A and B are shown apart, each in its own frame.
Chain A
Amino acid sequence: MVSAMTKRVVAWGLVVGGVAAAVAWSFRPQPVPVELVAASTMPLVVTVDEEGKTELRDVFVVSAPVAGRARRITLEAGDAVEAGNTVVAEIEPTAPAFLDERDRAEARADVAAAEAALVLANAEVEQAKAELDFAEAELRRAQRLAASRTISEQAIDDAERAYRSRRAALVTAQASVRVKEHTLERARSRLTSPATQVASDDVCDCLELHSPVSGQVIEVFHESEAVVAAGDPLLSVGDLSDLEIRAEMLSTDAVKVRPGMRVIVEGWGGDVPLAGEVERIEPRGFTKVSALGIEEQRVNVVVGLRDPHQTWRSLGHGFRVDIRVVLWETDAALTVPVTALFRDGAAWAVFAERDGVAHLTRVDVGRRSGLDVQVTDGLREGDRVILSPSDRVADGVPVVGR
């Protein structure tokens, strides 16, 4: 027979034990929820990044060779042009200038003078004609007389001479008339008003300018019909399939860059990054104030695109791109996100998760690229690390991935 005491102890022991177990169980350390990522072997690319702009390798500016009236340029930016064939602009002579009142009066006076001079010249022609007629008649008479030997040789010569000189004088007077006629025309032409000029579209006494190169029109400077001076740029053309990228790199970055280095071109608006190559690094540095307001020494770096033109057809001149010059790359680097790293004393460390527990693990880090950091020692492929560990995570603390 079990004693009363024992019965009590057993019964209460069970109950209290149950409660104690529940309480103790509630105090078991709760795993801290964390975000886990596996260290993975993946390609790592260390780059120097900069913003750049596309530029046509060669831009051809078509400018007016002479002053004149450039007709309206119907070509628009983007239109295709063919070297030598496509007429890109037409220049026709300009209309004469206006005269002010004084000049006009002078011109009119000139016209009147010229008219008078013409009249005078005509009159002189008449006179010369008359004199010639007389000289001719005299000569004839002299010749008739010569046949009959009635006149002296000298007289015949004089008559011939007189005739010839009168003929020359007539020619002179006629020429003078012509000169006066032209002078009158000149004086009259000064009175020509530009308003009387009639431009005819289809008939164009123009100078045609042809495209120097095949490609596209880049920019039209003078679209509308206008009077241009010699040398005024009219439009620019270029071959958009011949683009290069120009970036202003910090000189301290530019020294790390060599021609031939691979370049990744991003941020150009397309879906996929483009492949490029460093073509040259200009030797001259220049000062530029950065976006942060700091003066820096920069160097131009030129990058050529290596992908087929089809893939970046939509890129134009002066478009913004981001270039990433590959300084170092590898196909297989064990990487973790940078948000998993923290300092443990002088070394870098991560919290690696194994069997539901966080372990403080020192690591050696190699190269960095963007958010990825190469781990050269301390972790193996597939090891899971905790991203952005909170203050609750410590060595030996149970954790659970969310």
Chain B
Amino acid sequence: MRLLHPLDAKLARDLWRLRAQALAIALIIASGVGVLCSSLAVVDALLETATLFYERQRFGDVFGNVTRAPRHLLTRIGDIPGVQVLEARVVKHATVEVEGFDDPVIAALVSIPEDRAPVLNRPWLRRGTLPAPGQVDGAVLSEAFADGHDLAVGDTLHALINGRRRALRVTGIALSPEYVYTIAPGGLLPDDRRFGVIWMGEEVLAAAFDLDGAFNDVSLVLAHGADVDTVVHRLDALLEPYGGTGAIAREDQPSNWFVMNEIRQLRSMAGILPTIFLVVAAFLTNMVLARLIATERSEVGLLKAFGYGNVTVAWHYAKLVLMLAGAGVVLGWLFGWWLGRYSTVLYADMFRFPTLYYHPGLQPFVLAGAVSLGAALAGALGAARRAARLPPAEAMRPPAPAVYRRAGRLSAAARHWFDQLTRIVLRQLLRWPVRALLTSTGVAAAVAVLVMSLQWLDALELMVDSFFFDQQRHDVMVSLVEDRPASVRYEIARLPGVLAVEAHRTVPARLRNRHLSRREAVIGVPGDGELEVLKDATGARVPIPPDGLVMSRTLADRLRLSRGDPVVVEVLEGSRPVIVVPVAAIFDTWIGTPVFIHREALDRALGDPPTVDTLLLDVDPDHILELFDALEATPVVGAVTLRRASVDNFDDTIAENMLVFVTIYVSFACTLAMGVVYNSMRIALSERGRELATLRVLGFTGGEVSYVLLGEAALMVLVALPIGCVLGAALVELMSANFETELFRVPPVVAPSTYGMAMLVVLASAVLCGVLVHRRVERLDLIRVLKTRE
């Protein structure tokens, strides 16, 4: 009794026969599907998690800060149309002493109302409780910080709050929508041990900072449909007299900005790589199917002779492709789901959500599946149609031997150098150059993917070198809580261990060029600074002229500025002057969008005596602990940042994750290379089985016969290597352009060893394929092959 229609039985057996090739193609499809699914799944996870968290904890829509504003101003803020809820707080920074940790630690102190829970930006308690009303020393710590220092509920820590050392008792550990991505002001990456958030009672904080009856931070939640820009505008107007430096909407809030930025990058990634894989997969399915059908000519003829129609025949082969692709898609789904989950776990370290919801919707999977199946079918379509159109009788005849003409001949001189087997290899390539080139291109794509993945490590190295060592030459950066006269630098220079000091002054400002504007921190620097050095793209130093802005290229591009263009600078501090300065020079940096000006020009514009708020120090490591102690004892010192710690943090956070992803993509590339090479060789083996068996019969060893196949493959791979390197370089440029965000730009730099490594890996993959195919050649059943008709 038949369970399966004979055609389907044939299908099953064909698939089994082709299992190695099918697996190779399926893996390629799986790679493409996997990356697509995982990227989209992670995007969904991050978005969903963020949206839910923000909603539940009532994350503000607009944030404003001032130096000091009276509470009665809140009524007027509340009157702004569109404002639904508002809450005022005291937010300040303080140095924290942690036992057993010598590096400077700072925390953002955020007030919570004494008698009720906060209305907006509510901390989400992981453990413990909010401080009890009247509990003066109660504090809730941010989870990352608590974990970083092994602090638990009930522990005590000390903080220097406005010059006074106070003991705080940990009552709870929490997360906050404002600090999903917790970075110190001016920082790049979360450094859980050196920056944290502490929630404390409002009265305590207000008293400590002389803000009784006043506030310095306000958050708003807007009604549906309210225009954010208008509200921000009006809030600015109200806050300006109290030292407001410009309110921001949620999209510019640092933590949220980082989360959204990451999502944008993932979306980019989800576009490019899977496309490459799926295109190659389509090409491969086409190749496999076309040649498979060619070897089955007689079967096809037979089927048609028996009365099976064109459509049935075509559908039969289409089914083969669908099953092949289907297997790949299912594998890809599993892999994509797993990779998405893994990525999500990695993100949980960087983005502190209470839980990361990983519930990928159906959409990414359906999309990926449909696209892959479509690609595979598109590849196979031509071949299936050709098969269906063959008249039965013709199909069953052995085809005439392939026609080689004079055009394929090698020159007489060349002939001398090539033995017969080699000539077979060369003639085969020359006879079907397009096919050979396509195969080479497939391998080249693998090389390109390898170059692109490995390049990330090169880029990271350059970014770190350029930003942390070439641009920054100081060991320690000291930020003061408020502006101070420039003479402060003499004092700092006298502290233990200080070898050199340079002072900066940073002011928030709005830079305007016609209709484009951006809020940036303008950094006033000395004209002859050595502890912060700016370089242009050629590596030459960019001097700071007495007048004019020195701007990073990214910022200049955003504002569509070139050298010499005037910029309207609205300083948002002090006397709030509006000055027009030309862009004096443009420099290149991979991280951030800084803009500099000569400190004296800034003082002049503000009508101030020489004033500074940041000090860069070159420090003798032998005395650094004494320096920290001295700085801690100095009330006007706000934050102390160590370059070494920043570099290490950068390496730990980014480089580690990068390594994992590079490994994954290297595996993809190997899958691609092996898939293309293996399929190509297997197909050649089945197409030319008779010829190869004949050679065995003639007395050639298995190795010599393999040489015919492998030599052809080797030449295609070798040709693919340089092509792949060129493609890889182009891909790197493409990715670099796509990955450009305001925080990081990925330099499109490829070290020569990256090309070397990419070529080596592909060569190794090809050699592995060669070994597998050689085993098959050895096991060729000569008699069976010889007996079958060509």
Contact = CB atoms under 8 A, between A and B. Distances in A.
Contact of A337 (B418, B490, B530, B755): B530
A33 B539 CA distance: 9
A255 interface: no
Interface in B735-759: 751-753, 755-757, 759
A8 B707 contact: yes
Nearest to B540: A402
B634 A371 contact: no
A50 B420 contact: no
Given A8-B422, A19-B718, A370 B621 contact: no
Contacts of A5: 419
Contacts of A342: 621
Interface in A352-402: 368, 370-371, 373, 387-392, 402
B634 A293 contact: yes
B636 A293 contact: yes
Interface stretch (A23-31, A88-96, A228-236): A23-31
Nearest to B612: A291
A277 B315 CA distance: 102
A123 interface: no
Contacts of B610: 267, 320
Nearest to A373: B499
Interface string A25-69: 111101011010000000000000111000000000000000000
Of the candidates A23, A337, A368, the one having the most CB atoms from chain B within 10 angstroms of its own CB is A23
B417 A7 contact: yes
Contacts of B420: 4
B756 A390 contact: no
Given A7-B422, A15-B718, A27-B753, A339 B760 contact: no
B622 interface: yes
Interface string B616-637: 0010111000000000011111
A8 B418 CA distance: 7
A12 B426 CA distance: 13
B609 interface: yes
A250 interface: yes
Interface string A319-332: 01000000000000
Contact of A35 (B464, B470, B493): B470
Given A250-B494, A292-B488, A4 B470 contact: no
Given A23-B756, A371-B530, A50 B418 contact: no
Contacts of A27: 752-753, 756-757
A77 interface: no
B468 interface: yes
Given A26-B752, A27-B756, A250-B494, A389 B500 contact: no
B721 A19 contact: yes
Contact of A292 (B419, B468, B637, B751): B637
A387 B473 contact: yes
B1 to A, nearest CB: 56
Contacts of B491: 290-292, 294
A23 B760 contact: yes
Contacts of A290: 488, 491
Contacts of A49: 490, 493
B418 A7 contact: yes
B756 A11 contact: no
A226 B738 CA distance: 75
Interface string B597-613: 00000000000011000
A253 B473 CA distance: 28
Contacts of B418: 7, 11
Contacts of A213: none
Contacts of A8: 419, 421-422, 707
Contacts of A30: 751-753
A343 interface: yes
A247 to B, nearest CB: 10
Interface string B474-511: 00000000001111101111100001100000000000
Interface string A200-239: 0000000000000000000000000000000000000000
B629 to A, nearest CB: 13
Interface in A97-146: none
A339 B502 CA distance: 12
A195 B535 CA distance: 76
Contacts of A162: none
A368 B500 CA distance: 9
Contacts of B757: 27
Contacts of B759: 19, 22-23, 26
Given A293-B634, A390-B464, A4 B494 contact: no
B55 interface: no
Contacts of A51: 485-487, 490
B251 interface: no
A258 B87 CA distance: 60
B422 A388 contact: no
B484 A4 contact: no
B635 A293 contact: yes
A275 interface: no
Given A11-B418, A339-B473, A390 B636 contact: no
B465 interface: yes
Contacts of A23: 756, 759-760, 763
Contacts of A19: 718, 721, 759, 763
A232 B469 CA distance: 63
Nearest to B528: A371
A344 B533 CA distance: 24
A281 interface: no
Contacts of A35: 470
B755 A390 contact: no
A11 B500 contact: no
A37 to B, nearest CB: 10
B163 interface: yes
A338 interface: yes
Given A23-B760, A291-B485, A390-B468, A50 B490 contact: yes
Contacts of A15: 718
Given A8-B422, A8-B707, A389-B469, A294 B487 contact: no
B419 A339 contact: no
Interface string B153-166: 00000000001000
Contacts of A32: 465
A157 B371 CA distance: 161
Interface string B9-32: 000000000000000000000000
Contacts of B140: none
A222 B683 CA distance: 107
Interface string A293-321: 11000000000000000000000000010
A8 B420 CA distance: 10
Contact of A291 (B487, B620, B721): B487
A2 B151 CA distance: 80
B625 to A, nearest CB: 14
A291 B470 contact: no
A250 B90 CA distance: 37
Contacts of B622: 343, 346
A25 B759 CA distance: 12
Given A8-B421, A51-B490, A388 B634 contact: no
A370 B501 CA distance: 8
Interface of B: 163, 417-422, 461, 464-465, 468-470, 472-473, 484-488, 490-494, 499-500, 530-531, 533, 539-540, 609-610, 618, 620-622, 633-637, 647, 707, 711, 714, 718, 721, 751-753, 755-757, 759-760, 763
9 A-B pairs with least C-beta separation? A26-B756, A4-B419, A390-B469, A402-B539, A51-B487, A26-B752, A388-B473, A390-B465, A339-B473
12 contacts: A8-B422, A23-B759, A27-B752, A291-B484, A291-B485, A294-B491, A294-B633, A339-B473, A339-B500, A368-B500, A388-B470, A390-B468
Given A12-B714, A291-B484, A388-B470, 9 more contacts: A19-B763, A26-B759, A51-B486, A51-B490, A293-B163, A341-B499, A388-B472, A388-B533, A391-B464
